[in-house]
Amino acid sequence: MVHGPCGTININYPYMRDGQCCKSFPKQFKDDTEENVNGYPIYRRRATEPVQVGKYSFDNRWVGPYNPWLLKTFNEHINVEVCASVKCVKYLYKYVYKGHDAASVKIQKQGALDHDEILSFVEGRYVSAPEAMWRINEFNLSHKSHTVVHLAVHLPQQQPIVYQDGQEAQAIERAALRKTTLTSWFELNKNDPSAHNIFYSDIPQYYVFDKSTTNWKKRQRGGQNVIGRLPVVSILDTERYYLRMLLLRKSGAISFDDILTINGLRCITFQQACQEYGLLRGDQQWHDALNEAAQFQSPRQLRMLFAMICGFGEVEDVPDLWVQHQVSLCEDFVHRYSEQTGPHYALADIEELLTIYNLSLQKLHLPTVDLPASVLERANFDVVEEQAKANSYTMQLNSEQRNVVEILLSAVYNNAADTPKCYFLDGPAGTGKTFVYSTLLHTIRGRGDDVIPVASTGIAATLLIGGRTAHSVFKIPIDLNATSTCNLKPNTKEADMLLKTKLIVWDEAPMTHVHAFLAVDRLLQDLTKCKEPFGGKVILLGGDFRQVLPVILRGSRTLTVASSLKKHALWLKFHKLYLTKNMRTLESERDFGAWLLDIGEKKSGSTIQLPLQCYPSIQDPIHQLYSDIDFSSVTPQELKGRAILTVNNELSMEINNKVLEFMPGNETVYKAVDMIMSEDPQDQLTFPEEFLNSLTPTGLPPYELKLKIGCIVMLLRNLAPSKGLCNGTRLIIAKLQQNIIQAKSIDGTETFLIPRIPLIPSQTNMPFKFKRMQFPIRLAFSMTINKSQGQTFEKICLVLNEPILVMDNSMLAYQEHDLLNLFLW
C-alpha cells in the first residue's frame, strides 16, 4: 500500500494538483496517532529506514492507511480510514445507496437527441456473482436499527396538501378533516394527561401515529428503537423556524395559542414567544435577570451582577441597561447620600468592578465620574501593613524557604549582569511554595515596589494576594501555537504595569502549555526592547511536575510531555530551586508522605501496591462514599467535604446525576440555547439545534442542567477571580430562579449571583464552532482528577476505570488526604 511517489520527484503523477499531492503525501513521521484533526486522524508513522523500489526510495511516509487482514483476504489494494466526524457519516451514507459506476456509449448523428434513461440503466447494469447470490437468496440489501418518524412542523392552517389538477377543493376539504402529527399531538395532550410531560420530538417513543384515523395511540412495544425527527427549517422561513424551536422545548401544548403563551402572556408571533422564553439573543434576558435579582438581593450584589453581565453577556445597549435599572443599582447610595449624588457613587463602584473584565465606564459609553477614594478599594497596598506582614512571614520561614526568598530578593534588587533572572521553584504539595510566594509579595510591596502574582488556574490565583490568572494578565490567546502572540498592546495601563513590576510570580506553571510561556516571552521582550528571556524581568515559576501537566485534548503521553516547558530549550534558562521539607504532614503521616513522593518520582517501580484499607468494601463509589449519610435529610455541610474523582468528564457527569437523584427537594432543569457560529445558512441546516444539544464539550455545562437547592456545583469560568469566583470554585446552590441562580461559597460566608452567559468551547475536535447560552456551572459531587487540583476534601473515592495518560496524575488524588478516607476503583 505504497502511494506514488508524487511531488517533485514525479510531477506527472495523477494525484498532483497545482504542484502538490492532493492526498498530502509524503506524510510526516509521528510517534503516536492523533485523532480527529479536521475529521481525519494523523496516524503513527515510525521513522524507518528507506527501501529502494525500482528507481524510487520509499519509507513510512509514503504508506497509505491499510488493514493487513483485508489486504491478505482480498489480495487487492484497499485503503482504510477512520471515519470520525459528522460529515464522514453523511459522505458514507450517500455512497451506500448511490450504486455502482456505469456508462453506456452510443454513436448517433450530430444534432439528434435520442436518450432512453431506462434502457441506459438496463444496458449499463452489471450484477456480479456475489451480488447475484445475495439477491437470489433475498437477503436484506440494507438495515436500519431504528425507525425514524417524520413529524410535521407547520404554521396554523398551513399544513402541506397533496392534490391532483382539478381536485384542489376536494383536497382542501379532506385536509380540514384530517389531522397532522402536530395537530394530533395537540389533541393527545387534551385527552391524555400522561402525555403532558413528553416533548413533541419524543412522542413516537411512547405513541404510534395511526394514519387511517390520524390519531396518536399508545405504543405497546418497540419504543426504544424509534426516533422522532422534526424536519430542519431554514431561518429564512422565520415563523416556522421559531415554531420548531418552541416545539423542541415545550411539552403538553394543546394548541398553537398554547405554544404562543409564555408565562401567561399571549404573544403575537412565534419569534416573540421565543424572545419571551429566553431563546433569542438580545438585552431582554439581561433586563429579566436584573429585575429578578432586585427582588431579593442588595444593591451591592446587583452592581456585581451588572458588571458580570457587561463582562460576559454581549449586551447590545449597556447605557439603556443602566438607565432602566438605575434605581435598584443605586438604592443604598441614594439612601446614604442623595438622589443626585447616589448614582455617581454607584457608577464609581461599577467602574471598580468592571476592571475585573478589563472594561471601564468609558468603554461601555456610561457616564464617567471622579472615583471617590472612600468608596473604592484600589489595588494599591499599604506599605506599612505590608512591611509588618513581611516581617511576620520571614520569621516563620524554614531554612529552605528562607534561602529561596533571599535568592529571589537578591535577583530583584541586584543589578549585576551575571545574576540569573529566571527561576523555577520545585516542591511537592505541603512544602510551602505558596508561603514563599506570599513572603515575597509582602516584602516587595512593603518596599513600595510592584509585583505581579499570576497562576495557571483560577483556584491557584485566589491563594495569591492580588493574584489573577496568567491568561487575563498577559492576554494569552485561547488557541495557542508555537508562534502565538499575546493580545496586549503597548502604551496601555496593562503594559505599563508589566514594565514597572519588579517580579513576576507564576504558580502552577507545569500545568501551562509551553506555547503560553513563549508568547509571554515575546510580549515582555517587545515591551522592554530587551532580547533577554522574558525581557530581562525577574520571573519565578513554581509548581510540581509530579502532578498535572498541560491538558491536551485526546493527547497521548508523548504529546502531553512534549507540551511541557521542560521539553523546550527555554527551560535551560531557568535556575532551579527546591523545597523538600513537608510542613503540613504530621509525624504519623511521614511514611505515607514519603511513599507518595516515591510514586511521583517513580522510585516505587512499575507496580504500586496500595494498603488494603484503600480498596472498597462496596462495589459502588456512590454508596461507598455516602454510606453513612441519610440523603432524606442531608445538608450541604455533609456533602462539601466529599468527592468522587474520575479520569474523564463523561463518567463524572453520570455520577453527578445519580447523586442528585438521591438528594431531597424538587429538581429544576435549565435548558441551554445552542447556536452555530457561522453566517452560512447551509451550516444551520447541516448541524440542527437538537444535534448541538446532544454535545457536551470539555469546559461547557450540559444542555440540560439539573439542579436542586443545596447541591454542590463548580464554576466553569473565571467570573470574578478577585471575588473568589474562579474556574473550579465549588459553590452551594441557595436559590434557583428562572434567570438567576443564587449560590453561596463552600464555607457559607459569601453569597453570589450567577447569570446565564454565552459559552464557547475552547478546544473541540468538531469541524464547526458553536455557542451555548447557559449558567456556567456543573454539578460537583464528582469531578475529574485535573479539576480537583487545589481542592480540599475529607473523604474521596478515586475511580480509575481507564488508564491515566500521565501516570503521575494519580498523585494528585492522594495528596494531603487521610489514607483511611481514600478508596480506589
Choose one of 534, 561, 578: the last residue of a domain. Answer: 578
Same domain, 94 and 242: no
Quick: pLDDT tens for 669-711. 999 999 888 766 667 777 888 888 988 888 899 999 999 999 9
Same domain, 368 and 400: no
Choose one of 375, 395, 417: the last residue of a domain. Answer: 375
Tell me whether strands 777-779 and 712-715 are parallel, antiparallel or unpaired.
antiparallel
Same domain, 230 and 304: no
- Give me 607's grid cell: 507496580
504-518 b/e with 16+ CB inside 10 Å = b? bbbbbbbbbbbbbbb
SS3 569: helix
* Structural domain includes residue 129: no
List all residues 6 or more positions away from 560 whose beta carbon is below 8 Å from its beta carbon. 549, 550, 551, 552, 805, 806
Same domain, 637 and 570: no
pLDDT value at residue 813: 40
pLDDT value at residue 434: 92
Here the CATH number for the domain that contains residue 543 is 3.40.50.300
Instruction: Please tell me the total count of domains within the chain.
Output: 5
List all residues 6 or more positions away from 597 whose beta carbon is below 8 Å from its beta carbon. 428, 546
Q: Is the pTM of this model over 0.75?
A: no
* Structural domain includes residue 122: no
SS3 423: strand
* Structural domain includes residue 134: no
Same domain, 441 and 519: yes
How far apart are the C-alpha atoms of 556 and 805, rounded to whole Å? 6
Domain of 210 in residue numbering reads as: 147-277
How far apart are the C-alpha atoms of 390 and 440, rounded to whole Å? 8
Q: Which of 516, 523, 521 is nearest to 476 (CA)?
A: 516
* Structural domain includes residue 600: no
Same domain, 184 and 293: no
CA atoms in the 13 A half-sphere facing the CB of 291: 10
Q: What residue ranges of the chain have pLDDT lower than 50?
A: 37, 371-379, 805-820
Same domain, 492 and 572: yes
Same domain, 238 and 290: no
**Residue 29 DSSP label:** P
* Structural domain includes residue 735: yes
CB contact at 8 A, 664 and 633: yes
Report how far Cα 99 is from the mean position of its chain's Cα atoms: 41
- Give me 80's grid cell: 482504510
Choose one of 277, 301, 333: the last residue of a domain. Answer: 277
pLDDT value at residue 127: 83
Tell me whether strands 503-507 and 538-543 are parallel, antiparallel or unpaired.
parallel
* Structural domain includes residue 593: no
* Structural domain includes residue 361: yes
Same domain, 421 and 326: no
Same domain, 573 and 700: no
Quick: pLDDT tens for 556-587. 677 788 889 998 999 999 999 999 888 766 66
Same domain, 20 and 74: yes
pLDDT value at residue 619: 64
Which ranges in 634-695 belong to alpha helices (H)?
636-639, 649-662, 681-686, 689-693
Say how many C-beta atoms besides its own lie within 10 A of residue 706's C-beta.
Answer: 15
CB contact at 8 A, 759 and 768: no
* Structural domain includes residue 589: no
Same domain, 257 and 333: no
